[in-house]
Structure 1
């Protein structure tokens, strides 16, 4: 079955992703072990005695060697068990369930806003290449990407939420809300994420389309008298899709992984907010689980980008 070159390449990407995820799990575990602070001290407070701290560390399993705790953690994950929170004794999987859904919802809304807009702006920029509209689009998107997420978020809170009162500054969502209520609540954080990733996708779309505009089939279409935008949309864009898919998937990965700052700014009940809260509490199992899920999501989207780029490239689909 693996004799097919396309299937073999996909299998290689999947195997590499699994190996990479195990390597990242080790980095996450070592990184959290190096963080300062003591969860036992955080639970019992500053007035706790050394004996009570030692008893709690033993109860939580913190006295075991680091490699034993890492193997126990990875073994549990392979069995579908993310572990138990040290601070509240709750199952981490159940704690993460709703938060993960909220994070994916926010990232999905931002993706629905940013991807079509970036592709459309990229094609418009090619249509008006080196003109005023092209320069205006490039300058405005570069201006947006040069600002950090927290600055864009606070600007939107001040002008849109406080001054104009159009949307809430706190993006609080819960299971009882309708879809429209949730969309209204996440309007500002989704806009913040959209502005952050828009420029990169737009510029890659523009560069990829311009790269094929000098091809013979594009010149043939021009000689047939087709309009410039029709040539871009029907002839240049489909043949530039592979690099566009790659950059779109990478930015989708950022939308999921990069929501931590945005969720904290807008008090959004997602994975990022959960991870920050438990970093403060020094609840490392929760932090490790959140970090591993973020890493797995990013790796999965990167593998998807590779596979889609292979499928979209005829030279890779049908190698000689």
Structure 2
């Protein structure tokens, strides 16, 4: 078997084992939370018989190990369980609640990625090309400033000035099915802008650092001695050999787009998976909390796995670690 295929398979198996370990941690942590969840859902006035029937219907009276394997078996069959906030006469399944919210979150993350990734790579290349110039210093200063400011603070600053005072954009991003494209763009602009500001600095600085690190290589000096222009040296020689660290930081930030949208979705009341998880924690809806946490963990593990595969494919040295 070729070394590249063998390494990719080993990374895939490691990702599966990591996901299994994360599922155990998620289920155990949520199960160990204090309080009686049945009483919290039904209210303090519920009789012991009602509480017992509620636990039996949802399987909460079974041992933890049995409930875990039932949960995992249901996930493998596409069943994420029944929401604790649903009534016996009208059950609400977690998969139905999550489906539309997950689509909204991935849509928000995809639009942000389409803007932030190319822009950060272009800025990183330009900063490496004009290293030490005024453009490099200004862009680095702005990136350090945005990294230092918490994301929720950026969101509230933009909300106050752009939405409240200037009234250019709506304060809420409660998008709905059937909304026309223009209104959808207006409501998505502020969340996309906040997420873009939050991740572009990391990717830009890593791109700049990776390219500058490659510029000290002997083949770069050879290309310069042969008369290649600075732009050709960076684009044709330095950038292809710097893809490994760039791909890693891009994948980490893309994972953050899925995992870190909780704050942005909460600030702008965006109907995504992050807002759903916050509401589920507030109502103590355990199956919904577990499903949201597992989705976040799966996205993070998958994107980091993709980053490892890209890094290995673009850098053969990683196939033979010393």
TM-score w.r.t. structure 1 length? 0.93
Superposed, 1:65-104 pairs within 5 Å as 65-88=63-86, 89-104=91-106
- Displacement, 1:51? 4.1
Residue in 2 that maps onto 1:7: 5
1:31 counterpart (29, 32, 35): 29
Please point out which of 47, 55, 58 is paired with 1:57. 55
Residue 144 (str. 1) matches residue 142 (str. 2): no
Secondary structure at 1:203 match in 2: helix
Q: Is the 8 A contact 2:41 2:284 kept in 1?
A: no
Whole-angstrom distance in 1 between the partners of 2:34 and 2:312: 44
CA distance in 2, matches of 1:233, 1:247: 19
Which of residues 164, 171, 194 is equivalent to 2:173?
171
Distance 1:37 1:273 in 2: 23
SS of residue matched to 1:186: helix
Q: CA deviation at 1:247?
A: 0.9
Q: Compared with structure 1, are the counterparts of its residues 5 and 178 closer, same or farther at alpha carbon in structure 2 (3 Å cutoff)?
A: farther
Secondary structure (helix, strand or coil) at the match of 1:172 reads coil
- Residue-pair matches, total: 317
Supply the distance in 1 between the matched residues of 2:272 and 2:36 (Cα, whole angstroms): 25
**Native 8 Å contact 2:58 2:82 kept in 1:** no
The aligned counterpart of 1:264 is: 266
User: 1:1-320, aligned counterparts within 5 Å?
Assistant: 3-88=1-86, 89-316=91-318
Contact 1:6 1:316 in 2 (8 A): no
Per-residue deviation, 1:310: 1.1
State how far apart, in whole Å, the 2-side matches of 1:217 and 1:180 are: 50
Moved more, 55-64 or 138-147: 55-64
Is contact 1:170-1:266 (8 Å) kept? yes
CA contact (8 A) 1:39 1:281 kept: no
Give the root-mean-square deviation of aligned CA atoms.
1.8
Distance in 2, matches of 1:127 and 1:316, equals 27
Deviation at 1:175, TM superposition (A): 2.0
Distance in 2 separating the partners of 1:181 and 1:219: 52
Q: What whole-Å deviation, never above 9, does each CA across 1:69-127 have from its counterpart, x for those lacking one?
A: 11110111122211111111212112111111100011111111211111111112112
Q: Please give the alpha-carbon distance, in whole angstroms, between the structure 2 residues aligned to 1:34 and 1:146.
A: 35
Pair 1:312–1:178, CA change in 2 (3 A): farther
Query: CA–CA distance in 2 between the matches of 1:36 and 1:145?
Result: 36
Structure-1 separation of matches of 2:223 and 2:165? 51
Instruction: Note the residue ranges of structure 1 that are not aligned, 5 or more in a row.
Output: none
Pair 318,57 (structure 1): closer, same or farther in 2 beyond 3 Å: closer
Distance 2:170 2:225 in 1: 53
Alpha-carbon distance in 2 for matches of 1:130, 1:293:
42
The offset of 1:174, in angstroms, is: 1.7
CA drift of 1:294 comes to: 1.0
Change in Cα spacing, 1:122 to 1:268, as seen in structure 2 (3 Å) is: same
Report if the CA contact (8 A) 1:141-1:199 is conserved: yes
Work out the CA distance in 2 between the residues paired with 1:180 and 1:303.
Answer: 36
